[in-house]
């Protein structure tokens, strides 16, 4: 793997059975993503984008192929070691925010730090600083149910970045927001990731997100399609 590669996928395949039929979601994918790169994965609903992100994030294991992230071959790690790896090296942003409703904004953002063994004082300071970065410094004590959709996604972005991960994975991050709010959240995510020199992989069906990416890949029939959609390659 080249020194500047953060992600290497080799022969990645995944399928599932539905009755008598086998659905091939991914068909021998190959991909390298460099450190500091922003890659957009385009594709219609059901094309396998979320499956791909779950595999890169070590949430699931592929049926065939290898996945290497930040020097670790995830396909050879036990479930516990994959969990520990995710806590330290990865940040996740989801379409539906996935905030814990019984925790305040600050407590949601502190969670990754506490899971990584941070003490109370440094985790509080880091969480508050990160909330200020996303424009929610005054909403630290608010619970998710009193926040707007855009505010909840900002908290989710703060949570994804607070522990300084090598890689941020975003699955339809604007899919549950109106167009204007989605634009604001997208610009914020792009700025924060790039300012920190992180690597970003975004799965989406929205072409607007692709405009901010360094590379655009279209997932179709389990493969990356070549053509106009990859003009930025």
Residues 6+ apart with CB under 8 A from 205: 42, 43, 44, 45, 49, 172, 175
CATH architecture of the domain 5-230 equals 3-Layer(aba) Sandwich (3.40)
Residue appearing with tokens 């926040």: 147
The whole-number pLDDT of residue 51 equals 93
Give the per-residue pLDDT at 182: 86
Going from the first residue of the chain to its last (233 residues), give the mean pLDDT of each consecutive group of 10, the final group possibly shorter.
Answer: 82 85 88 94 88 94 94 93 94 92 97 94 96 95 96 96 95 88 88 91 80 90 67 38
Q: Check residue 225 and give its pLDDT.
A: 81
Q: Quick one: pLDDT at residue 226?
A: 55
Domain spans in the chain, listed from the N-terminal domain onward: 5-230
């Amino acid at each position: 793997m080249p020194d500047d590669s953060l992600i290497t996928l080799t022969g990645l395949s995944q399928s599932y059975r539905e009755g008598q039929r086998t659905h091939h979601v991914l068909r021998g994918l190959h991909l390298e993503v460099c450190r500091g790169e922003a890659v957009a994965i385009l594709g219609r609903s059901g094309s396998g984008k979320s499956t791909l992100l779950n595999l890169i994030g070590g949430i699931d294991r592929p049926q065939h192929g290898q996945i290497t992230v930040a020097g670790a071959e995830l396909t050879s790690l036990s479930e516990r070691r994959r969990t520990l790896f995710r806590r330290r090296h990865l940040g996740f942003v989801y379409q539906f925010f996935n905030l814990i409703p019984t925790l305040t904004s600050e407590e949601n953002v502190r969670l990754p730090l506490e899971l990584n063994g941070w003490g109370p004082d440094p985790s509080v300071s880091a969480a508050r600083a990160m909330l200020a970065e996303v424009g929610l410094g005054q909403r630290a004590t608010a619970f998710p149910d009193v926040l707007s959709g855009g505010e909840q996604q900002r908290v989710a972005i703060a949570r994804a970045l607070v522990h300084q991960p090598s890689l941020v994975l975003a699955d339809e991050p604007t899919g549950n927001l109106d167009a204007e709010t989605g634009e604001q959240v997208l610009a914020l995510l792009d700025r924060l990731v790039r300012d920190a020199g992180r690597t970003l992989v975004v799965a989406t069906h929205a072409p607007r997100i692709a405009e901010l990416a360094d590379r655009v890949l279209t997932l179709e029939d389990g493969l990356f399609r070549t053509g106009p959609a990859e003009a930025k390659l």
